[in-house]
Amino acid sequence: MNEYDIKDTIAALSTPYSKSALAIIRMSGSKALEIASKICFYANNENKNINNFEHRKSYYALIKDENNIPVDEVIVLSSLSPNTFTSEDTIEFISHGSIVVIDALMNLLIRNGARAANRGEFTYRAYINGRIGISEAEAIHDLIDSNNKLMAEASIYKMRGRLTREIDKLRENIKNSLMLVYGELDFPEDETESFSYDKLIENFEIIKKDIENILSNSKRVENLINGIKVAILGRVNAGKSSIFNMILDRERAIVSNIAGTTRDFLSENIYIDNIPFYLMDTAGFHKKADNDIELEGIERAKKCACESDIILAVFDGSDIANEDDINLIEFLNTLDNKNIIYILNKSDEDKKFNKEIDNANIINISTKTKSGKGELISALKNYVSDSDMDIFNKETYVNNRERGYLESGLKQIDICIKKSLESYSLDEVAEEMNILNNILGNVSGKVDAEEVINEIFANFCIGK
């Protein structure tokens, strides 16, 4: 990584570059203490440099430039190698949040031998110095970008090595199998531990199952942290937008007696007991569209339904079922493995809806009186089972990069199994196993892939 010269001492603003109460500038590298001692003076004795920085200690300091002109009074936090995030000597300056002060302090550090850090360079150094793996580095980025409590929790679990430990177990199993193969190659007549292809295949099947579990559990974790998709479907004026607004507790969608007010779908995020839900209010369901715009709205509604985790099928309980209602029910019957909640809206009026819905979970709701709202919210919450939360608390998620390597690993295991079943030479089987080991090593960054590493850290913010 040419732009990330590990020998340099780097500095960067870790807080937003804007006027604020405080700002934090971080410096890391072999010259961090030396540079700090040049510019840091005791605030109560401005003629005395601070030159004996201790580990995990704070100092109230006056920063002065080379012309002895004060820059700011700051809190200096010192942490000594190797017990820091980067595993290098690290100094953090907590200054006043004036942009003038920020610029002056950064320029002063650079004039005294530091270099402005590149994106993600502090985290890159933590990786290079063995403090964290690639998966942990990416989890830090995910934590910074998290927009809900579950995403933050999942990122922290991963940041603390949950996925890396799983991958390490897989690679340890591969290495143990390789030892059996190499032992047979080097000492074919040694009968202290008999070798068999069957035992090798058994180990491959275990590894394969473990990878499949990581991928499937990741999907369940991702469904939770990305938001459970809820599509609201129904014919025009069934009350879809009113249901949408009622769940949100605010007027997000326009509610009108005019048919077809919603032509595209509206979407909003909502949190129920800290679990994110992604609500989609779709266009009214018609058996026959009057124009191309209406047809596109109906097609998008169907697409939302197919991609959702939960469907709220809304019917006007105060009206006789018409062909659009029947068309909607027929469409829902074509969907497999969908959690569908049927809603009879306008329960405050006389019930006229006359269509029987077999084996349906039906909730009677009045958006005027809010009757039935609690039952609907409970039904949404019940979608998340105890087993889902158990998976969340014990397992982790994978990103697209990691998933790609794991899926490649599954293909490579099949090659290993095939060659073992067909009794290929042990040299060839060992070669395939080493390929598998390297593929899995790429998941956690245990195998160097410079191009991938460059891309990962380039997406980080400055100062991280």
- Residue type for position 409: G
DSSP for 181-244 reads HHHHHH-TT--SS---HHHHHHHHHHHHHHHHHHHHHHHHHHHHHH-EEEEEEESTTSSHHHHH
β-strand 57-64 against 40-42: which pairing, if any?
A: antiparallel
30 annotated binding-site participant: no
Provide the residue ranges of all domains of the chain, joining segments of one domain with +: 10-133, 134-445
CA dist 266 and 297 (Å) reads 11
123 annotated binding-site participant: no
Structure tokens at 169: 């177990």
Answer yes or no: are the C-beta atoms of 443 and 407 closer than 8 Å: no
Q: How high is the pLDDT of residue 448?
A: 56
Mean pLDDT, range 246-273, rounded to an integer = 66
441 annotated binding-site participant: no
pLDDT at 263 over 80: no
Q: How high is the pLDDT of residue 192?
A: 46
152 annotated binding-site participant: no
Which residues 6+ apart lie within 8 Å of 432 measured at CB? 412, 415, 416, 419
Answer yes or no: are the C-beta atoms of 35 and 112 closer than 8 Å: yes
CA dist 215 and 213 (Å) reads 5
258 annotated binding-site participant: yes
120 annotated binding-site participant: no
User: What mean pLDDT, rounded, does the chain reach?
Assistant: 87
237 annotated binding-site participant: yes
385 annotated binding-site participant: no
259 annotated binding-site participant: yes
420 annotated binding-site participant: no
Between 393 and 54, residue with greater pLDDT: 54
CA dist 452 and 464 (Å) reads 18
282 annotated binding-site participant: yes
Q: Please write the tens of the pLDDT for every residue from 425-454.
A: 889 999 999 999 999 999 987 665 555 566
CA dist 112 and 32 (Å) reads 10
Q: Please write the tens of the pLDDT for every residue from 9-19.
A: 999 999 999 99
CB-neighbour burial class of residue 336 (10 A; exposed 0-12, middle 13-18, buried 19+): exposed
- Count CB-CB contacts under 10 A for residue 68: 9
Q: Please write the tens of the pLDDT for every residue from 316-338.
A: 888 888 888 888 888 998 888 78
Q: How high is the pLDDT of residue 423?
A: 82
- The two counts, helices (H) then strands (E), for the chain are 15, 14
pLDDT band for position 1 (cuts 50, 70, 90): very low
239 annotated binding-site participant: yes
3-state secondary structure of 336: coil
Q: How high is the pLDDT of residue 387?
A: 76
Structure tokens at 117: 């850090």
With pLDDT > 70 as the criterion, what percentage of the chain qualifies?
A: 89
Task: Of 60, 96, 97, 99, give the one whose Cα is nearest residue 76.
Answer: 60
52 annotated binding-site participant: no
Structure tokens at 324: 């659009």
261 annotated binding-site participant: yes
164 annotated binding-site participant: no
3-state secondary structure of 270: strand
130 annotated binding-site participant: no
262 annotated binding-site participant: yes
Which residues 6+ apart lie within 8 Å of 244 measured at CB? 232, 252, 253, 266, 268, 279, 281
Task: State whether CATH 3.40.50.300 applies to domain 134-445.
Answer: yes
Mean pLDDT, range 67-84, rounded to an integer = 97
Q: Please write the tens of the pLDDT for every residue from 158-188.
A: 999 999 999 999 999 999 888 888 887 876 6
Between CA 356 and CA 367, with CA 361 as vertex, the angle to 5 degrees is 90
256 annotated binding-site participant: yes
CA–CA distance from 51 to each of 28, 39, 40 (Å)?
16, 10, 8
pTM above 0.85, yes or no: no
Do the first three CATH levels of 10-133 and 134-445 match, i.e. the same topology?
no
268 annotated binding-site participant: no
What CATH class has 10-133?
A: alpha beta
Is the N-terminal amide bond of 82 cis, ω within 30° of 0? Answer: yes
